[in-house]
Amino acid sequence: MDVLTLSRFQFALTAGIHYLYPPLSIGLAVVLVMIEGTWLKTRQPVYHQMARFWTKVFALTFAIGVATGIVMEFEFGTNWATYSRYVGDVFGSALAAEGIFAFFLESGFLAVLLFGWERVGPRMHFFSTCMVCLGAHFSAIWIVVANSWMQTPAGFHIVGQGVKARAEITDFWAMVFNPSAMDRLFHTLCGAWQAGAFIVVSVSAWYLLKKRHDEFARASLRIGLVAGLAASLLQLASGHISARGVAKNQPVKLAAFEGRYETRAGASLALLGWVDEKNQRLLFSVEMPGMLSWLAHGDTRAPVTGLLEAAPQPEDRPPVNFSFQLFHLMVAVGFGMILIAALGFLCFWRGSLFEKRWLLRLLALSVLGPQIANQAGWFAAEVGRQPWIVQGLLRTSQGVSAVVKANTVLAAIILFSAVYLLLFAVFVYLLNDKIQHGPDDGDLVPSGKLALHARP
Amino acid sequence: MNFDGLDLNTTWFILIGVLFTGYAMLDGFDLGVGALHLFTKTDEERRIMLNAIGPVWDGNEVWLVTGGGALFAAFPNVYATVFSGFYLAFVLLLVALIFRAVAIEFRGKRPMLWWRRMWDGGFSAGSVASSLLIGVAMGNIAWGVPLDERGEFTGSFWSLLGPYPLLLGITTLALFLMHGAIYALLKTEGALHDKLRAWINNCIVFFIICYAVTTMATLLYVPHMAARVRANPWLFSIAIFNMLAIANVPREIHHGRDWRAFLSSCVAMLALMGLFGLEMYPNLVFSNPGPANSLNIHNAASSPKTLGIMLTIALIGVPAVLAYTVSIYWIFRGKVKLDRMSY
């Protein structure tokens, strides 16, 4: 294999595994803010116990997220040096802003969140939790802004020619608020909130199934379901806004997502299907007439651009079937999450959830949903942008490092695969261990400085 | 913001230097604690060592991440050349950093002896390897690396392992060992503290030998790294200041003033990095052979507009960063006490 293919594989591997963790951290940070806020307000010891338990889970995901995240920052330079030279002026500043505004905030207050229980008062601790949550969101903002600039570049001009050509900023805020940035940020954050909410839902439902830690599980489940349902419904809205943005800004990508070759008025929405790329047809599709036109342009009769028009040359198209399948997987799981969250919430509210073991089992598995959707969504977003590394400006094949050899990249892939496999195994082992161990009953009696503030 | 009249390229040269110096001063001590980790024997001692850096190591590492991001934004050509040129070395550095990060987090999660031994090994090996690799990278930057006219690295992984870069790798490890040992002294008490006090002299002697050899090797074999001081003799005062700061470390340790020893060690790092920067300026990557291909603050930089935007970001961000970094160190001041939230 060549350096390009190997480098793409390496980036997909390291980014995909990395992205198992940050959504959990972002989402759990929100849940932790909710839990600690409730504790400060109600002073019920169970919320203190919950805060302690979920902080431990948070710490685990955060540590691996940080460790696997540094790799991403280095890889732009190691594997995509030509790309880095080309975009450094624009992309680099977003990355540096992430470091200054997000990572320092997050890592600094994380210390208080994890180790400060006995050292600071409850209000200061709550403040630190909020700051960690804010830091996690800042980090999402800057990295999604940077990635969105690669999808819909704005606020720049090209200086120089040939190998010396590069993008330079002309308008910082136009770069930050590039056409897809805010839509995609909202979409990414909703996915992260779902990931955090549903891990809480899953673990709590599992405790209820096993009849363990009843009070803890019910209180956690309530917060998890509220957050999960809210995030899933918001995700529906953000998904719709995102899709409209893609239709407007990246018609090739939308056509690939939907497997459309012909430009057609009143285009129907395929619920599932298989794209025959050779004959440029969509096979076995189940379709809703006019829906795609309505979703993309708000009018059932509006024309939706097909691949033949948007990218007449086949080399300008992404892998169509791959994009189609991943996009549809994401959408299907997204709707599934709404259904599961709504059902869980309804039964919880009516008090019938605890007898419905099948629903508890479903909820216990629900943690997988957001993970699958987040992975599928990002793969669709990044593969759907191909063959461009920066849409319309630089091809992925032009971005790869000039001096790196294929066998070197292969060595790195083998090394990263071994390390990440080990990390993932240890993560699952420790997470399982924490869940099996459950919350500490000792946490029902706040100790240290916290004891002074607890009401009887 | 408007920065008319300010030499933005030089400003960013200095700021990148500040970020990497901050990284050396802060992560330097926790890498050093990691390198010392296996010398402690009992589980409790090892837990104390880990918890000495527990609340702060993650924030310390952010200095490297931000330094990398700032380099990417301010001097993208340097970032691209160095990161792709030093490919395998940086992959190894990443693996080392990953191992020590997760080892800190994972070690205390299970009680089994084999489990703790395994992560102790990972933590220590990761810390030693990171220190060495950072030093080797610095050594290559000082010695110079072969670049073509497009500024691309033309050497190989093995060409990075010359004697001078390896010497700098060992010197960096020695410096971090000393720095880490002093920090560990500050955070411990009782038997472990006394044990560390006995080790620290070895660390200091090891570092001073490495420092002397490196200085000699630089003067003899890397003349371009002494050219500016040779041309401007008054700059030699920085070198003297550096030597005094280093000499002050054993003096303060001897008098039991560990805090001052730590500060001296920080000042020594500052002076070392200052000298390094002065000799490199205006180059960021020195091309050897073919100095005409060197990457400098002009041919490797982003546009003045971006440098200005970045400076605005830094002016907003850095005071906030300093404020909460100081608060965190303040909240976690004093000797380590193990409790149930500890590693």
Return d(Cα A63, Cα B57) in angstroms, integer. 11
C-alpha count within 13 angstroms, C-beta hemisphere, residue A145 = 22
Rounded average pLDDT over A285-302: 81
Cα distance from A309 to chain B (closest Cα, Å)?
37
Asked if the C-beta of A248 comes within 8 angstroms of chain B's C-beta atoms, the answer is no
HSE value, Cβ hemisphere, 13 Å, CA-based, for A39: 28
Rounded to a whole number, what is the distance in Å from the CA of A71 to chain B's nearest CA?
A: 6
For residue B281, the model assigns a pLDDT of: 87
Q: What 3 state SS string does B87-106 have? A: HHHHHHHHHHHHHHHHHHHH
Residues in chain B: 343
Contact residues, A window 142-201, toward B, CB-based 8 Å cutoff: 159, 163, 166, 168-170, 172
Q: Is B72 on the interface with A (CB under 8 A)?
A: yes
Model confidence pLDDT, tens digit, residues B36-91: 988 888 888 888 888 888 888 888 888 888 888 899 999 999 999 999 989 989 99
* B98 touches A: beta carbon within 8 Å: yes
Cα dihedral A100, A104, A105, A107, rounded to 10, equals 160
Mean pLDDT across chain B: 89
Reduced DSSP (H G I as helix, E B as strand, rest coil) percent helix, strand, coil of chain B, to 5: 80, 5, 20
> Does the pLDDT of residue B269 top 90, yes or no?
yes
Of B65, B77, B85, the CB nearest to A103: B65
* Residue B25 confidence (pLDDT) above 50: yes
Residue A172 has pLDDT above 60, yes or no: yes
Find the range with the poorest average confidence among A85-94, A285-294, B8-17, B242-251.
Answer: A285-294
Mutate to test the interface with B, among A49, A55, A74 (most CBs of B within 10 A): A74
If one counts every other C-beta atom within 10 angstroms of the C-beta of residue A407, the result is 10
HSE, side-chain direction, 13 A CA sphere, residue B250: 14
Residue type, A316: D
Residue with tokens 């995240």: A69
With vertex at residue A163, the alpha carbon angle to CA A161 and CA A164, rounded to the nearest 5 degrees, is: 55
Residues of chain B with C-beta less than 8 angstroms from the C-beta of A390: none
Query: What DSSP designation does A305 have?
Result: -
Neighbouring-strand partners of residue A282 = A275
Cβ pair B205, B183 in contact under 8 A? no
B118/A contact by beta carbon, under 8 A? no
End-to-end CA distance of chain A: 68
Candidates A134, A110, A135, A131; CA nearest to A55 is A110
Which residues from chain A sit within 8 angstroms of residue B62, using beta carbons? 99, 103-104, 107
The shortest C-alpha distance from B98 to chain A (Å) reads 5
* Mean pLDDT within B7-36: 92
At which residue do the structure tokens 């699958």 appear? A372
Query: How does pLDDT run across B103-145, given as a tens digit for each residue?
Result: 888 888 888 888 888 899 999 999 999 999 999 999 999 998 9
CA atoms within 13 A on the CB side of A169: 28
Residue in this structure with the two tokens 């870069």, named with its chain if needed:
B165
Are B80 and A108 a contacting pair at CB < 8 A? no
Bridge partners, A264 (sequence order): A304
Which of these, A68, A69, A63, A73, lies nearest to A25 by C-alpha position?
A: A63
What integer best gives the mean pLDDT of chain A? 88
Domain boundaries, chain B: 8-331
C-beta of residue A223 within 8 angstroms of C-beta of residue A31: yes
Nearest to B302 by CA among A178, A160, A92: A92
Q: What is the pLDDT of residue A455?
A: 46
pLDDT recorded at residue A448: 56
% residues pLDDT > 90 (chain A): 42
- Segment 286-325 of chain A within 8 Å of chain B by CB: none
Residue A210, min C-alpha distance to chain B (Å) = 23
**Position B124, amino acid:** S
Instruction: Compute the average pLDDT of residues A245-258.
Output: 88
* ipTM score: 0.84
- The backbone torsions φ and ψ at residue A291, rounded to the nearest 5 degrees and listed phi first, read -65, -40
B292 touches chain A (CB under 8 A): no
Could you identify the residue written with the tokens 């020893």?
A: B261
User: Which amino acid is residue B166, in one-letter code?
Assistant: L
SS3 A445: coil
pLDDT per residue over B136-148, tens digit each?
A: 999 999 998 988 8
Contact A380, A330 (CB under 8 A): yes
Task: State the pLDDT at residue A456.
Answer: 40
Q: Which residue of A has its CA nearest to B87?
A: A78
Of A60, A97, A403, the CB nearest to B152: A403
**What residues of chain A, 424 to 453, have a C-beta less than 8 Å from chain B?**
426, 430, 433-434, 442
Amino acid identity, position B195: K
Residues B53, B55, B57, B60, CA torsion sign: negative
CA dist B35 and B33 (Å) reads 5
Cβ within 8 Å, pair A70-B64: yes
3-state SS, B281-303, equals CCEEECECCCHHHCEECCCCCCC
Contacts A–B by Cβ distance under 8 A: 229
Instruction: Search chain A and give the residue with CA nearest B152.
Output: A403
Cα–Cα distance between B147 and B90 in angstroms, integer? Answer: 18
Say which amino acid occupies A218: R
